[in-house]
Amino acid sequence: MKNLIKTICGISVFAFILASCGDGGKKASTVDATKKQGFVKCGVSQGLPGFSNADESGKWTGIDVDVCRAVAAAVLGDANKVKYTPLSAKERFTALQAGEIDVLSRNTTWTLERDAAIGLTFVGVNFYDGQGFMVRKATGIKSVNDFKDGVKVCTNTGTTTELNMADFFKSKGVKYEPVVFEKADEVVQAYDSGRCDTYTTDKSGLAAQRTKLTKPDDHVVLPETISKEPLGPVVRQGDAKWEDVVRWSLNVWIEAEEYGVNSGNIDSMKESKNPAIQRIVGAEGTKNGEALGLDQEWSYRIIKQIGNYGESYKKNIADTGILPDRGPNNLWTKGGILYVPPVR
């Protein structure tokens, strides 16, 4: 019987330990945690050329990757101090909520439901996209209005794509069959083999995935765009400091292009008399870094190490042939809709 009493005591101690560890570590700020661990925990896609894609040597490149690199350059001083976690569309939000990653930069569409109901905050937009359809040229389909009953549509699970196409086909009164895969590579394989008549996802994604088909030239992306897909980085709700750091790393990256500051000329720009440029290069007496809890040269490092938004776009998306035309992703001063709040 003494054993019983001992057991009860043991269990109580165990329960007490369990209860006390639940509340610990909740309040630590992400900026401090990032500085302490020495790298930015960044969630990316499992391979989408132009946005986040790993090459043979495991080096990640893309316009989404550059957002994480910018944060690393701002907070840690080195754009390469990023730990990438490739995530499926399904896993991405849980990984962010659970703290496995601190920034999600994975061609993620900003919607009300995601912003409001699942404890996340979208900090901005780094790519304006829209959903489109790709078909075989041989079918002679020229427009989304040519789709008829029984059309088989391949796509990914866990994206706004599934909802948009349901709305789209419903409004057109067309009965379609969605064939929904977990991974983008399987969608490509299924579409390529003829299981589906069309492949739908964001247009940039279609352009990127088209390069993976056996005969890319046999396929064409239809001109229509059936949805708005503003893609941007996401952080957890409730850490305002970290949110600000990510938001303004993104904004300064875009604003640098507006003022013509790039990785090549930023050192000479240090002499500039323009106050906006002085703020970007972190000249004497500017307060941006201090306000964010960073040092004065945070934005200088971003542009020096990564370049401005235009350079990233050119390197990752235009020169790779994915979307040579910047379209809406041009600056507002050049006919696009890229317009960021002033970095001051």
Binding-site ranges for other proteins (CB under 8 A): 1-2, 4-5, 7-8, 11, 15, 18-19, 22, 26, 89-90, 93-94, 97, 113-114, 117-119, 136, 138-141, 146-152, 157-159, 162-163, 165-167, 169-170, 176-182, 186, 189-190, 193-195, 197, 236-238
Q: How far is the CB of 22 from other proteins (least distance, A)?
A: 5
Q: Running DSSP on this structure, what letter comes out for residue 135?
A: E
Q: 153: how many CB neighbours lie within 10 A of its CB?
A: 22
CA distance 71 to 54: 19
Q: How far is the CB of 93 from other proteins (least distance, A)?
A: 6
Q: Which one, 13 or 337, has the nearer CB to other proteins?
A: 13
CA distance 223 to 207: 12
Q: How far is the CB of 171 from other proteins (least distance, A)?
A: 11
- b/e map of 241-260 (b: 16 or more CB within 10 Å)? ebbbbbbbbbbbbbbbbbbe
Q: Based on C-alpha coordinates, what's the Rg of the chain? A: 23
Q: How far is the CB of 336 from other proteins (least distance, A)?
A: 30
Q: Which one, 21 or 273, has the nearer CB to other proteins?
A: 21
CA distance 157 to 62: 23
Q: Which one, 131 or 272, has the nearer CB to other proteins?
A: 131
Q: Which residues touch 309 (CB under 8 Å, ≥6 apart)?
A: 126, 253, 254, 256, 257, 338
CA distance 95 to 104: 9
**Single-letter amino acid, residue 83:** K
Q: Which one, 81 or 106, has the nearer CB to other proteins?
A: 106
Q: 296: how many CB neighbours lie within 10 A of its CB?
A: 17
CA distance 239 to 29: 7
Q: How far is the CB of 123 from other proteins (least distance, A)?
A: 15
Q: Tokens at residue 27, please?
A: 């309040």
Q: Which one, 195 or 344, has the nearer CB to other proteins?
A: 195
Q: Which one, 188 or 338, has the nearer CB to other proteins?
A: 188
Q: How far is the CB of 328 from other proteins (least distance, A)?
A: 26
Q: How far is the CB of 81 from other proteins (least distance, A)?
A: 26
